[in-house]
Structure 1
């Protein structure tokens, strides 16, 4: 299978961008990453970059095999990268970030996330897989206290239960079994500044109208940009098509 990629990042309505993304191909294996530095912690942009760089370095050392164990190792390297930055810069000792990662060997894919940056998997034009946030509203939805649709604009949406860079270590959610790729599959990795304003229905509608991952991202970004938002969050997304 051939996998094509497009990326998008913007400061949105903020003065600077705390998001970071990465993509690397080595020997037929590929990885994609999106990280969102937490705005409530000083050094969010440093944390997101350190996490992405740590993951990419680990992936470069051993891009195969495609396994949950390999993905865990790369995530631990991302966490170690943030911790190293905290030690080197005491003024950034509380910096944190989210992280969502996708791996593929060209035949199958695995993914994992920490925090509320998301991965969506589409098959036959329909949403087939989606990560669940490590957040207070997601926990409330899982407990039946609020409907899942209320997560997007819940007052506690920014209260995360897991992150990269915390003193208690990381607790990633890793897909247990590989997703065997089929032609026409599509993946979207994105920060909360993106999915908060682009619904899953909108993602599927724009996917149906898009011949390339860049067109898919452009169509969704157009929707976001025409909402007339003021001071909205940074947003970053990576789109991957399986040909």
Structure 2
């Protein structure tokens, strides 16, 4: 069995949503270190710009792109700008996500809408814009960051689990359509277990970090999916902490 090809992303452009911190920042760093020109999209502009400065200071290629994934019109505008600049996207990583940890009894409609728009509709908007362009160019790779909540759920996770389950179904459908439409396009869903990131630690400051994994491990999993030689594609990967108590 041949080993995966050495990953060299020079000359390729990637866009990472939710890239300002946590897992998104880890993925952006890994892609840039592999030679990609990385667009960092996040509503936290100050943090994203700071990370861009850090990466460019290391001689890597990164810049901030203003985008709220919930805004379909704004997402389309970003892609039109890339078209006009002659900077097509080769890699999309849908990572942006939010959560509201509340019993369903106490959820508001606005909270449900925010979670579903960010975690499900946003990635779908990005995929729509990216996929049709990849079809016309004959290649590219889309990575959707999923969650163990796509396979199971727990209390206080109704909107989050619903959105991630929906995104997993959408990702599987896109994978099948890419097999039919263009074998040069890879589609990968990554089911990631708990990570030691602000996404968890800000909501659960007393969480036992020994039961969490580093976001760098998940970022390496993204790069693995991108490194599989032509002729094969990884449709889905699961990476969870070894001691995660509630898997599956």
Q: What TM bracket, shorter-length normalisation? A: 0.3 to 0.5
By relative contact order (CA 8 Å, sep 6+), the higher-ranking structure is 1
Structure showing the higher helix proportion among its residues? 2
Structure with greater strand share of residues: 1
